[in-house]
Chain A
Amino acid sequence: MIVLSITTSAASGGVALVQNDTVLAEIAHVDPRGHAEHLFDLIDRAFTKANVTRGDVQLIAVDIGPGSFTGARIGVAAAKGIALGLGVHMIGVVSLAAMAARLRSEFPSQPFFAAAIDARKNELYLSIEDQEGAVRTPPCHIAYTSIAEHITPVIGNTSCVSIVDTAEHRAFAAPFASTALVEPPSPSWIAKLGAAQFLSLNNADRAALDPGNVVPLYVRPPDAVPLPAFAP
């Protein structure tokens, strides 16, 4: 199965073409304000490099965040258009889950995996998974400074490995992590996790993987205050 993946929810983004866990092409770029302008050029380059054609793609896997609201929407909307145009399934992959999946493959003996991404306003989006890939802390937004309160109760007195998206965050994560990597979600891990999730579904559930059903995972509500008459 050939999967096309797209990630635009972080400052760096990119695309990958992956076939049965083999990465045929992976192209990343760094330009938080240029995802919309660069995305289709990256896609074209990936297809050339992988030497496959549009019609070969069977699944679109897209990073749904959490991350930048606008960034995630660029990738999700583009993926929707592609899936609709090609008539293929589309699956949304949580950015933090793709980061944790990568850690699980690189550090299989570790008990816990924490992934964190910048959420602006001095906050992080955080999630923690265990060795089996079960989610121990679902994606949430927390203050940078409260990372200890969120990690220690989950991992107890063991340690974890973590992956964060900036060097600044590594400083916060380091005290709890035996290893802390600085990496945003990678396009090939979005594809691999998307494919794994797709293959684990039965046919009925696969049928629900429709471009109309995938929406970004925002975690945080919009910043807006209702008029007094509408306040709860």
Chain B
Amino acid sequence: MRRHPCFRALTAHSPKRLKSPLMLVLGIETSCDETAAAVVSDSGDVYSDVVRSQIASHAPYGGVVPEIASRDHARAVVPVVREAIAASGFTLAQIDGIAVTSRPGLSGALLVGLSAAKGLAWATQKPFVTVDHLVGHLLAVLLQRPGSSAPRPEYPFIALLVSGGHTAIYRVNGPELSLVHEIGATRDDAAGEAFDKVAKLLGLGYPGGPQIDRLAAIGNAARAGVTLPRGIADHRSFEMSFSGLKSAVARHVASLPSPPQDQALADLCAAFQATIVETLVSKTVRAAAREEVPRIVLAGGVAANKGLRARMAEVCTRRELALFVPPFSSCTDNAAMIAYAGALRLSRGETDTLSEGPATKTALLRVTRKGGGKR
């Protein structure tokens, strides 16, 4: 059983623990291809964080199959929730509220977590809150995991959210939907989607991001012998585009006598990754300058990318910007970020009714229009 050090201190020094100001929340996340549950307090302390990945179920299909995701969630949700409660060192009775991802995501997948969370909240008569998955990602940097004492950013901060389904730069003024402002986003593919699609066409398997990252580290972009387009390189725009980049890689590969292997493959991965990273880093850093906010936060699964982390760190040091990079477990999908965002909502006195339904789109206001054409 994993117990946060604070837990013991708290029970030892606070005889009326149940009345302590700490709010403990069970979070549930089933928006895509991980079934996850976690117990987190409104101060961000992570008491447990259980993630069951479905990657093996989807790999044969080269991507997430919604019906398979929903079936896996239906099987896993109870064991995962039980494990999260047991590992937290608390009992269900000691938990103050239930939080669940209600959007954005696959509606059939979201419905599993949402329905189970409602059932739990109804049966235990605990307050219930829904969380926007993207708000969860943006707040993940504030989680305090056992044994880590990484500094947390103050508000406001500039966040680069890069995941399999989303890529956007936000100004985060506080932990509420209305305090998060999109500065710019992709007009087409998400960065993670570009990584996955390029990996697929290079025969690297699913998910492709980690494979490309690994190969890029031993490749040399200059030697790849290809110039790849940086979508919307315009200095004034914070919008991004990655579908042209993916097509350029596809055309380049098609023009070769045989698919690139070994060093040539690594060099091409390096060129592709460098192009994406350059777009992400330069736009994020410019957003920080325009907003006069000297703090940058990385969020989402692609924030695990070593090339992105290294380049962002280099540029931030040069520009005297503070960079906050959450640990890997906080970047990819997890329920700790959902529990935390939910705990903050509950501590503000917000709750939702059990008639809440799922939604495929985020509730964050979008300023970037999807698709091509003149702006």
Q: A interface vs B, CB < 8 Å?
A: 36-41, 43, 54, 69-70, 73-86, 210-212, 215-216, 218, 222-227, 230
Given A37-B355, A80-B78, A85-B124 in contact, is the A74-B115 Cβ separation under 8 Å?
yes
Instruction: Choose one: B60, B70, B116; the contact of A70 (CB below 8 Å).
Output: B70
Chain B residue nearest in CB terms to A70: B108
Question: Contact: A40 with B354, CB < 8 Å?
Answer: yes
In the assembled complex, the Cα of A76 lies from the Cα of B68 at a distance in Å of 16
The answer to whether the Cβ of B77 comes within 8 Å of any Cβ in the partner chain is yes
Give chain B residues whose Cβ lies under 8 Å from the Cβ of A40.
118, 122, 354-355
Instruction: Choose one: A41, A80, A226; the contact of B116 (CB below 8 Å).
Output: A80
Q: B interface vs A, CB < 8 Å?
A: 59-62, 65, 67-68, 70-71, 73-75, 77-79, 81-82, 92, 107-108, 111-125, 354-358
Q: Nearest chain B CB to A213's CB is how many angstroms away? A: 8
Question: Contact: A81 with B123, CB < 8 Å?
Answer: yes
Given A40-B118, A70-B111, A222-B67 in contact, is the A54-B123 Cβ separation under 8 Å?
yes
Chain B residue nearest in CB terms to A232: B60
In the assembled complex, the Cα of A215 lies from the Cα of B57 at a distance in Å of 17
Known: A73-B70, A77-B77, A227-B60. 11 other contacts (CB 8 A): A73-B74, A73-B108, A77-B112, A82-B123, A84-B92, A84-B120, A85-B121, A212-B82, A216-B74, A226-B61, A230-B61
Give chain B residues whose Cβ lies under 8 Å from the Cβ of A230.
59-61
Give chain A residues whose Cβ lies under 8 Å from the Cβ of B74.
73, 76-77, 215-216
Question: Contact: B122 with A73, CB < 8 Å?
Answer: no
The interface centre, meaning the residue of A69, A81, A216, A222 with most chain B CB atoms within 10 A of its CB, is A81
Instruction: Choose one: B61, B70, B115, B117; the contact of A227 (CB below 8 Å).
Output: B61
Given A36-B111, A73-B108 in contact, is the A79-B67 Cβ separation under 8 Å?
no
In the assembled complex, the Cα of A37 lies from the Cα of B112 at a distance in Å of 13
Give chain A residues whose Cβ lies under 8 Å from the Cβ of B81.
84
Question: Contact: A222 with B79, CB < 8 Å?
Answer: no
Given A41-B354, A81-B122 in contact, is the A222-B108 Cβ separation under 8 Å?
no
Question: Contact: A82 with B60, CB < 8 Å?
Answer: no
Question: Contact: A36 with B358, CB < 8 Å?
Answer: yes
Number of A-B contacts (CB under 8 A): 119
Chain B residue nearest in CB terms to A82: B119
Q: Nearest chain B CB to A48's CB is how many angstroms away? A: 14
In the assembled complex, the Cα of A216 lies from the Cα of B79 at a distance in Å of 16
The interface centre, meaning the residue of B75, B77, B119, B120 with most chain A CB atoms within 10 A of its CB, is B119
Q: Nearest chain A CB to B232's CB is how many angstroms away? A: 32
Given A77-B74, A212-B78, A216-B74 in contact, is the A224-B67 Cβ separation under 8 Å?
yes
Given A69-B108, A84-B78, A212-B79 in contact, is the A78-B70 Cβ separation under 8 Å?
no
Q: Nearest chain B CB to A8's CB is how many angstroms away? A: 9
Question: Contact: A82 with B122, CB < 8 Å?
Answer: yes
Chain B residue nearest in CB terms to A210: B78
Query: Which A-B residue pairs are the 6 nearest by beta carbons?
Result: A81-B119, A85-B123, A230-B60, A40-B354, A77-B115, A222-B67
In the assembled complex, the Cα of A85 lies from the Cα of B358 at a distance in Å of 22
Give chain B residues whose Cβ lies under 8 Å from the Cβ of A82.
119-120, 122-123
In the assembled complex, the Cα of A43 lies from the Cα of B122 at a distance in Å of 10
27 CB < 8 A contacts A-B: A36-B111, A37-B355, A37-B356, A39-B118, A39-B354, A40-B122, A54-B122, A54-B125, A69-B67, A70-B111, A73-B74, A74-B111, A76-B74, A77-B113, A77-B114, A79-B119, A82-B120, A83-B119, A84-B82, A85-B120, A86-B123, A210-B78, A216-B74, A222-B71, A224-B65, A225-B61, A227-B60
In the assembled complex, the Cα of A210 lies from the Cα of B75 at a distance in Å of 12
Question: Contact: B68 with A41, CB < 8 Å?
Answer: no
Give chain A residues whose Cβ lies under 8 Å from the Cβ of B73.
77
Question: Contact: A85 with B119, CB < 8 Å?
Answer: yes
In the assembled complex, the Cα of A76 lies from the Cα of B357 at a distance in Å of 16
Give chain A residues whose Cβ lies under 8 Å from the Cβ of B122.
40, 43, 54, 81-82, 85
Q: Nearest chain A CB to B261's CB is how many angstroms away? A: 17
Give chain A residues whose Cβ lies under 8 Å from the Cβ of B357.
36-37
Chain A residue nearest in CB terms to B203: A229
Question: Contact: B112 with A222, CB < 8 Å?
Answer: no
Q: Nearest chain A CB to B271's CB is how many angstroms away? A: 26
Question: Contact: A73 with B115, CB < 8 Å?
Answer: yes
Chain B residue nearest in CB terms to A90: B78
Give chain B residues whose Cβ lies under 8 Å from the Cβ of A69.
67, 70-71, 108
Chain A residue nearest in CB terms to B107: A70
The interface centre, meaning the residue of A83, A85, A211, A216 with most chain B CB atoms within 10 A of its CB, is A85
Question: Contact: B116 with A78, CB < 8 Å?
Answer: yes
In the assembled complex, the Cα of A24 lies from the Cα of B75 at a distance in Å of 31
